[in-house]
Amino acid sequence: MPLPRVVAAAVLLFFASSSFEWASSAASDLPRFREAPAFRNGPGCASAPTIHIAMTLDAAYLRGSLAGVLSVLRHSSCPESIAFHFLATRPRRFRRAVAASFPSLTFDVYRFDPDLVRGRISSSVRRALDQPLNYARIYLADILPSSVRRVIYFDSDLVVVDDVARLWATDLAPDYVLAAPEYCHANFTSYFTDRFWSDPVFPSALAGRRRAPCYFNTGVMVMDLERWRAGGYTRKLESWMDVQKREARIYELGSLPPFLLVFAGEVMGVEHRWNQHGLGGDNVEGLCRDLHPGPVSLLHWSGKGKPWLRLDAGRQCPLDSLWAPYDLLRRDGRESLFVDL
């Protein structure tokens, strides 16, 4: 016997409304963001290479990631030639968020399995550094398709204020795996514990490098993924994390020290303008910082203080005003108070 029409309608309505609620509650656990303007290729882009950029997406840093994407597109002469590769532990949720702000963006969201690193993370000086996604950059060569042979990795607390094609053009010849700005005046010794330096074996890992091992920041890196894959660098980084977790406490920070242990002294230097880092202050207090001398192509709020948090709290640092124009957060009802001046 067929269902009475009214019952069928009620059943339909029930399913429609419950799935609607499910969808809307799944979407509403993320803040809402505005749609960015569309950016189009200028003249001379026909022969432009595809620029691959990798970033992570999570709820805490989504606002920063979207601002970073907007800043890249805004300053690129060939924005439609950029392909973004996002890593997230919940890809579907973030695919929707990115598409809502950038409907014509070329991008993919890949699942990063936090269990890849969970057993390898030891607690650091700042809890945010201990999030599994902070280690995702180690796995880019494994997760991105093999057709992606080079990628720029960007942290989610930075904005680019120059054409990213200049960074993409970094020469990694003859056989460098990684390029990044190096900071040789930083005290390299201090990134590792006394236990590390007094060990009969560990320090010898740094011997025989092409150049003196120097600190570099892992928030901005140009990576040759083919050489990375061929050289098994994921495994090399993991093995230092295993030492830290199981054998001896050899450092205090998160994902940075393993990178230093594997790559310091073997990094192709990039102009410092591509990582004006430390704008978030240190890892404990997040004080205001000034720019390093010299030109600026990228502003990086590494450290504890994030510009969106300081802006929201009304405790902004002077340089935070350079991040604000890239903020896509929707402020319902109050939007008109923040017209672009």
Helices then strands (H, E): number in the chain?
Answer: 11, 11
Q: Which is nearer to ligand NAG, 107 or 188 (CB)?
A: 188
**Contact window for ligand NAG (CB under 6 A) among 100-108, 122-130, 187-195, 228-236:** 187-195
Task: Quote the tokens at residue 211.
Answer: 């150049």
**Contact window for ligand NAG (CB under 6 A) among 150-158, 184-192, 300-308, 322-330:** 184-192
Q: Which is nearer to ligand NAG, 111 or 195 (CB)?
A: 195
Q: Which is nearer to ligand NAG, 189 or 321 (CB)?
A: 189
- The yes or no reply on residue 147 touching ligand NAG (CB under 6 A) is no
- The yes or no reply on residue 186 touching ligand NAG (CB under 6 A) is no
- The yes or no reply on residue 190 touching ligand NAG (CB under 6 A) is yes
CB of 301 to ligand NAG, least distance (A): 25
Q: Which is nearer to ligand NAG, 187 or 204 (CB)?
A: 187
What is the C-alpha to C-alpha distance for residues 109 and 276, in angstroms, rounded to an integer? 27
Q: Which is nearer to ligand NAG, 110 or 188 (CB)?
A: 188
CB of 195 to ligand NAG, least distance (A): 12
Cβ neighbors of 16 (< 8 A, separation 6 or more) are none
Task: Quote the tokens at residue 181.
Answer: 């700005």
CB of 210 to ligand NAG, least distance (A): 22
Measure Cα distances from 216 to 57, 105, 229, 282 in Å.
Answer: 23, 30, 21, 16
The reply to whether omega before 325 is within 30° of 0 (cis) is no
Of 102, 103, 106, 110, nearest in space to 78 by CA: 106
CA angle 125, 90, 72 (to 5 degrees): 75
Helix axes of 256-263 and 233-242: crossing angle, nearest 10 degrees: 120
- The yes or no reply on residue 187 touching ligand NAG (CB under 6 A) is yes
Among 189, 247, 291, 338, binds ligand NAG (CB under 6 A): 189
Half-sphere exposure of 258 (CA within 13 A, CB side): 23
Q: Which long-range contacts (CB under 8 A, 24 or more apart) does 244-249 make?
A: 244/122, 245/119, 245/120, 245/121, 245/122, 248/195, 248/196, 248/199, 248/202, 249/122, 249/193, 249/195
CB of 186 to ligand NAG, least distance (A): 9
Q: Which is nearer to ligand NAG, 194 or 335 (CB)?
A: 194
- The yes or no reply on residue 18 touching ligand NAG (CB under 6 A) is no
Residue 78 in contact with residue 49, Cβ under 8 Å? no
Q: Which is nearer to ligand NAG, 38 or 212 (CB)?
A: 212
**Contact window for ligand NAG (CB under 6 A) among 37-45, 186-194, 259-267, 271-279:** 186-194
**Contact window for ligand NAG (CB under 6 A) among 114-122, 170-178, 182-190, 259-267:** 182-190
Please tell me the total number of residues recorded for the chain in this structure: 341
What is the C-alpha to C-alpha distance for residues 56 and 62, in angstroms, rounded to an integer? 9
Phi/psi of residue 21, nearest 5 degrees:
-60, -40
Q: Which is nearer to ligand NAG, 222 or 264 (CB)?
A: 264
CB of 61 to ligand NAG, least distance (A): 30
Max CA pair span of the chain: 83
Footprint on residues 55-74 left by ligand NAG (CB under 6 A): none
Where along the sequence are the contacts to ligand NAG (CB under 6 A)?
Answer: 187, 189-190
